[in-house]
Amino acid sequence: MPRYKVDAPGFFDGELYKPDGKRNILTVDKPFTKDNPMPSWVSKMPTESAAAKKKREARETKAAEDDAAKNKSDNKDIADASFLGAGESGSGSQVETI
């Protein structure tokens, strides 16, 4: 879905878009064409530079690695946790439900 940067306040599809407001990026289903021209108050989003893309991908990779390490640590903590009291074993105990 194409995205466009809002340069000035304007309405699109019943919504108010402002560059410094709540809606500062216009996202549409289909790109603007000759038959469906782009409003004058929006411009194409700048493309991501190679350096910015590399930084973003490194940040995402680091975040994924950190999440995986945290999940591994959490899973180990869960496995080590004992939900039975001290001295109790899970095989011989009976659980009664009412």
Delimit the domains of the chain by residue range: 3-44
pTM of the model: 0.48
pLDDT at 84: 60
Summary mean pLDDT of the chain: 85
pLDDT at 48: 82
Cα dihedral 9/10/15/18 (nearest 10): -20
**pLDDT-wise least confident of 12-16, 23-27, 32-36, 84-88:** 84-88
What percent of the chain is modeled with pLDDT above 70? 85
pLDDT at 8: 93
Q: Which of 31, 26, 22 is nearest to 7 (CA)?
A: 26
CA distance 34 to 75: 55
